[in-house]
Amino acid sequence: MGKFSTYRYLELKDSTTTPHISTRTISLKQPRRLKKFFILLIILALCATYFMGLFAGQTQWFDGLAKSLGYESVYHHAVIVDAGSSGTRVLAYKFRVPFTVFGPQSLDLVEEFFAQSKPGLSSHVDDPEKGADTIVQLIKKAEFLTPLEKRKSTPLIIRATAGLRLLPKDKAQQLLSHVSKAISTMGYDIGPNSVEIMAGADEGIFIWYTINLLHNLLGGETMAALDLGGGSTQITYQLSDSEATQYPEADRHVVPAGENVTLYTHSYLNLGLYAARYGIFRLEAGDNATNEFTSVCVDPIIQREPWTYANKQYFISGAPRPAGMKREAAYARCHEVVRRYTLRALDWEPREPPRGAVAAMSFFYDVAADAGVIDVMRGGTVSVAQYRGSALRACSAANVEQPWACIDLAFVIALLHDAYKMRDTDPVSLFKKVNGHEVSWALGLAYSTVMNRMAAAAAA
């Protein structure tokens, strides 16, 4: 299989330790800590209900019984800030340790808070103090979820993504330094690694954890996770032992998911929605790139439409079209340039489509919702063919309210079909929320952080 890289936030399972990820509900495992009083009560309850068939394995029943007998649950909190290229989001989580008798205990997500602001942190590159303040204000909105007495033990983690990875290193570090200073007096548990730029592989693995945790799939047939941000995109899915050697060693990660599993994950910088849009415009302009672009993916009725990317303003105009051009031709000439940019930007091209059912998030969802392919609130399942049908309409319509609909739809098609090798009829399940919880890599990071802290405390 070759040498695997080890995912730094998650401890791998060996023959002497218990897996940290539970395959029941939305859980992570930790060593058992039970009060003798409740153990005695549960033993008595077991004796009384043995002949009724209520015995080992009925973890939810035991938890309900313990609560009815006055068991006080233990709660843990975490606050994660996603400083993305298109905006900044804070996600605060409240976890509960349920009562168990048999096997290790688990960790359940019971409440979360989500808020966001725009533009992203990277847009404040010339005013890092203001950028830091936007993050502070978001964190303050989430303070209500963490009791004051627990704030000192609540991890506050800030991770910047592709927006800062695209900045010069000195500029990115200046932003991070201002953020670190600004949050240092907020009363949370802040360590030396609390404010960092997140590696692209981390984004992919954590969003894979989140989508499979929320669907209770860890330990079984998991879903592939496709995430599309503003500056980068990630593809992550589980591999069998026989498949692993077909993938680049740097993209293979062994992580715990009931048992240790091997994931393929790759992050493509400059293939986020906004970065790709900019790259396509530049490709069309060739050596004449200025702040004015003309694109075959924009309707000719659009002239000098202002658009801001990476803190700079550009003016976009639609290229002229022959009279009577059919919509298939309008889409085809847009797709040709979009496909050319997409394949050129790939630093590794998969040979086969993702393994298993496919879940897609973020701009995959938003582009489909804006096109009316899915319900904006409930999401749904789409295919490449459905995206293409919407692109055919968008590329031949003078839609001044959605001037980027054609290029964005063509780019999503290029990613799924040309880059990831998905067939026209392959279903893609689009999620923004699952059971009321935001689908974000922040949840996977929060789970693993709290799990590791609980395990460390038990070992101490």
In this prediction, residues 81-94 reach a mean pLDDT of 94
In this prediction, residues 292-313 reach a mean pLDDT of 95
pLDDT digits (tens, 9 = 90+) for 64-80: 555 555 555 789 999 99
Q: Which residues are annotated as a binding site?
A: 230-234
In this prediction, residues 340-353 reach a mean pLDDT of 94
Collect contacts of 287-293 with beta carbons under 8 A, ≥24 apart.
291/315, 292/317, 293/317
Residue labelled with tokens 């033990």: 153
Q: Which residues are annotated as a binding site for ATP?
A: 230-234
Other beta carbons within 10 Å of 459? 7
Residue 27 DSSP SS3: strand
Q: How confident is the model at residue 256, as a pLDDT? A: 79
pLDDT digits (tens, 9 = 90+) for 361-420: 999 999 999 999 999 999 999 999 999 999 999 999 888 999 999 999 999 999 999 999
pLDDT value at 165 more than 60? yes
Residue labelled with tokens 């500029």: 171
Other beta carbons within 10 Å of 144? 9
In this prediction, residues 23-52 reach a mean pLDDT of 51
- pTM (2 d.p.): 0.82
Integer Cα distance of 397 and 227 in angstroms: 28
- Whether the CB-CB separation of 135 and 181 falls below 8 Å is answered with no
Q: How confident is the model at residue 366, as a pLDDT? A: 97
Q: How confident is the model at residue 376, as a pLDDT? A: 94
Q: How confident is the model at residue 8, as a pLDDT? A: 46
Instruction: Indicate the helix (H) or strand (E) that contains 448.
Output: helix 441-459
Q: How confident is the model at residue 113, as a pLDDT? A: 97
Confidence category of residue 263, pLDDT binned at 50, 70, 90: very high
Residue 117 burial class via C-beta count within 10 angstroms: exposed 0-12, middle 13-18, buried 19 and up: middle
pLDDT digits (tens, 9 = 90+) for 198-228: 999 999 999 999 999 899 898 889 999 999 9
Q: How confident is the model at residue 71, as a pLDDT? A: 57
Integer Cα distance of 23 and 11 in angstroms: 17
> DSSP secondary-structure letter at 4?
P
Q: How confident is the model at residue 96, as a pLDDT? A: 86
Provide the mean pLDDT of the chain: 86
Q: How confident is the model at residue 1, as a pLDDT? A: 43
Q: How confident is the model at residue 104, as a pLDDT? A: 53
- Whether the CB-CB separation of 383 and 427 falls below 8 Å is answered with yes
Q: How confident is the model at residue 328, as a pLDDT? A: 95
* Tokens encoding 68: 């009815």
Does residue 43 or residue 170 have the better pLDDT? 170
Q: Which of 11, 72, 196, 203 is catalytic?
A: 203
Other beta carbons within 10 Å of 413? 25
Q: What angle do CA 303, 305, 310 make, to 5 degrees?
A: 145
Q: How confident is the model at residue 19, as a pLDDT? A: 35
Integer Cα distance of 296 and 332 in angstroms: 10
Mean pLDDT lowest among 34-38, 48-52, 225-229, 345-349: 48-52
Q: How confident is the model at residue 287, as a pLDDT? A: 74
Integer Cα distance of 223 and 356 in angstroms: 6
pLDDT value at 47 more than 70? no
Integer Cα distance of 110 and 349 in angstroms: 40
Q: How confident is the model at residue 57, as a pLDDT? A: 44
- Name the percent of the chain lying above pLDDT 70: 82
Q: How confident is the model at residue 22, as a pLDDT? A: 33
Q: How confident is the model at residue 224, as a pLDDT? A: 98
Query: What's the half-sphere exposure (Cβ side, CA atoms, 13 Å) at 384?
Result: 17
Integer Cα distance of 99 and 65 in angstroms: 9
In order of their start, the domains of the chain are 10-29+73-200+441-459 (3.30.420.40), 273-345+384-426 (no CATH)
Q: How confident is the model at residue 223, as a pLDDT? A: 97
Q: How confident is the model at residue 46, as a pLDDT? A: 60
pLDDT value at 58 more than 80? no
* Tokens encoding 52: 């009724």
Integer Cα distance of 184 and 139 in angstroms: 12
Concerning whether 11 is annotated as a catalytic residue, the answer is: no
Q: CB neighbours of 8 closer than 8 A, spacing ≥ 6?
A: none
Integer Cα distance of 52 and 161 in angstroms: 53
Q: How confident is the model at residue 64, as a pLDDT? A: 54
In this prediction, residues 252-262 reach a mean pLDDT of 86
Q: CB neighbours of 371 closer than 8 A, spacing ≥ 6?
A: 387, 390, 394, 405, 409
Closest CA to 228 of 363, 382, 100: 363
